[in-house]
């Protein structure tokens, strides 16, 4: 550390250079990320609330009321009139909270000590962190031939130690939606906590449904669904970090409450103590700013780009892994491995694609910063590499 203060300008000069090492969303080279550039209006709102601490809501009553309203709006979007929950740092923290609620609930109400959690092989790795922290056993359910969770496999794996079943609405690798309706009934009949991870699909499926896309039900309209994760910092265009966890019942927050003696509230259910209010308020502002029609239009644009990419890839001769349900296209070269093609794409023009694991394939996430023009350039290079 320097002994004497350094001039602001000098520090900023250094930081500008450092920032130049980062990739920029607007260059359109980031093709495998589920994040995107936050909306300018969200950034404007964000800086106004940088000092608000949601961890001590008695001091920041205004910001806390915005969190409550945001949860209410997202809850209604997911067909739940009285929603409980929090805006947290992302899908990971939201999933950890869901697992913790399920674990505690099963412990308090069923006396389960060595809990098991059933989830598909396609589940996000955040559940591994949750299971590790809470000493839970992960029971992996099989996928069907279309890479969605196999319902009969879930049924077989239910045991007296099952504390939760997890399904995904918009898988991280392929953007697919699990058969949530059937799983909801199974969970309901067996009195098991059912969590839907819609970190990716949550800001897309309801809006696409709104304009006539034919998706099966995935939300609280299904009686077995206990909680849903939604990430405003993906297609919601909110600044990082913004994830959402919505619970059907207040008791799921209550089973996680610990005493918080020196604060303005008596208990706290979130994992994080001092919590950022800024992204919550930015999320709220965007929900109002876009409204259903604005988000629907954006979601529709992403789907149009998705279909454009998919069809153009097929024309060149690339193999499409699965018909896209949301804004992700996974494909393979008939001869080159995904790793090889990914390397060549980076070399030829700096393309940053990602490689899916299950199945091995190049995976393109059609986020808001990826324009038709970028896609045409990308396809030109893919044609050359074919």
Ligand X SMILES: *Cc1c(COP(=O)(O)O)cnc(C)c1O
- Structural tokens at position 59: 């001091």
Provide the total of helices (H) and of strands (E) in the chain, helices listed first: 12, 13
Q: Which residues lie closer than 8 Å to 362 by C-beta, 6 or more apart? A: 330, 331, 332, 338, 341, 342, 353, 354, 355, 356
Nearer to ligand X, 42 or 382 (CB): 42
Nearer to ligand X, 90 or 338 (CB): 90
- Structural tokens at position 244: 């959402």
Q: How far is the CB of 96 from ligand X (least distance, A)?
A: 9
Q: Could you tell me which residues are beta bridge partners of residue 243?
A: 88
Nearer to ligand X, 245 or 281 (CB): 245
Gap between the Cα atoms of 15 and 11, Å rounded: 6
Judged by the rule CB under 6 A, the positions of this chain that interact with ligand X are 34, 90-92, 95, 124, 126, 168, 172, 197, 199-200, 231, 243
Q: How far is the CB of 136 from ligand X (least distance, A)?
A: 17
- For residue 35, give the nearest of 346, 368, 374, 375 by alpha carbon: 368
Q: How far is the CB of 70 from ligand X (least distance, A)?
A: 16
Dihedral sign, CA of 140, 145, 150, 156?
A: negative
- For residue 144, give the nearest of 283, 271, 322, 344 by alpha carbon: 322
Nearer to ligand X, 34 or 341 (CB): 34
- Position of minimal CB gap to ligand X: 91
Nearer to ligand X, 64 or 195 (CB): 195
Nearer to ligand X, 200 or 318 (CB): 200
- Structural tokens at position 171: 């898988």
Q: How far is the CB of 95 from ligand X (least distance, A)?
A: 6
CB 210 within 8 A of CB 296: yes
Q: How far is the CB of 92 from ligand X (least distance, A)?
A: 3
- For residue 159, give the nearest of 206, 194, 118, 200 by alpha carbon: 118
Q: How far is the CB of 311 from ligand X (least distance, A)?
A: 25
Collapsing DSSP to helix, strand or coil, 231 comes out as coil
Q: How far is the CB of 338 from ligand X (least distance, A)?
A: 19
Nearer to ligand X, 60 or 203 (CB): 203
Half-sphere exposure of 194 (CA within 13 A, CB side): 27
- For residue 163, give the nearest of 247, 114, 226, 106 by alpha carbon: 106
Q: How far is the CB of 332 from ligand X (least distance, A)?
A: 21
Nearer to ligand X, 171 or 268 (CB): 171
Q: How far is the CB of 197 from ligand X (least distance, A)?
A: 5
Distances (CA, A) of 24 to 29, 239, 352: 8, 15, 11
Nearer to ligand X, 52 or 92 (CB): 92
- Structural tokens at position 334: 């008939």
């Amino acid at each position: 550390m320097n002994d004497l203060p350094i001039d602001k300008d000098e520090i900023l000069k250094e930081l500008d250079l450092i920032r130049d090492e980062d990739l920029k969303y607007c260059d359109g080279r980031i093709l495998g990320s589920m994040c995107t550039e936050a909306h300018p209006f969200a950034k404007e709102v964000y800086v106004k609330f940088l000092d608000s601490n949601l961890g001590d809501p008695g001091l920041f009553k205004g910001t806390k009321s915005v969190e409550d309203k945001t949860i209410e709006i997202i809850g209604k979007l997911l067909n739940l009139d009285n929603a409980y929950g929090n805006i947290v740092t992302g899908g990971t923290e939201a999933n950890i909270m869901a697992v913790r609620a399920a674990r505690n609930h099963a412990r308090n109400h069923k006396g389960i000590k060595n809990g098991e959690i059933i989830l598909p092989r396609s589940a996000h790795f955040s559940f591994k962190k949750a299971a590790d922290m809470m000493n839970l056993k992960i029971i992996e359910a099989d996928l069907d031939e279309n890479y969605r969770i196999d319902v009969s496999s879930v049924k077989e794996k239910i045991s007296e130690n099952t504390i939760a079943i997890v399904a995904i609405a918009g898988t991280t690798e392929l953007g697919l939606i699990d058969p949530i309706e059937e799983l909801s009934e199974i969970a309901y009949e067996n009195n098991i906590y059912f969590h839907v991870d819609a970190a990716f699909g949550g800001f897309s499926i309801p809006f696409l449904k709104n304009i006539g896309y034919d998706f099966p039900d995935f939300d609280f309209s299904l009686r077995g669904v206990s909680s849903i994760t939604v990430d405003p910092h993906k297609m919601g265009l909110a600044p990082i970090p913004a994830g959402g966890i919505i619970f059907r019942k207040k008791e799921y927050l209550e089973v996680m409450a610990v005493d918080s003696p020196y604060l303005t509230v008596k208990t706290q259910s979130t994992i994080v103590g001092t919590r950022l209010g800024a992204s919550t308020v930015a999320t709220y502002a965007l929900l109002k700013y876009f409204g259903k029609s604005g988000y629907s239009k954006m979601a529709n644009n992403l789907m149009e780009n998705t279909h454009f990419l998919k069809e153009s890839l097929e024309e060149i001769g690339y193999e499409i892994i699965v018909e896209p349900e949301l804004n992700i296209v996974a494909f393979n070269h008939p001869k080159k491995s995904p790793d090889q093609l990914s390397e060549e794409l980076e070399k030829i023009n700096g393309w940053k694609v990602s490689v899916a694991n299950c199945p091995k394939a190049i995976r393109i996430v059609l986020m808001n910063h990826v324009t038709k023009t970028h896609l045409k350039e990308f396809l030109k290079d893919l044609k050359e590499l074919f």
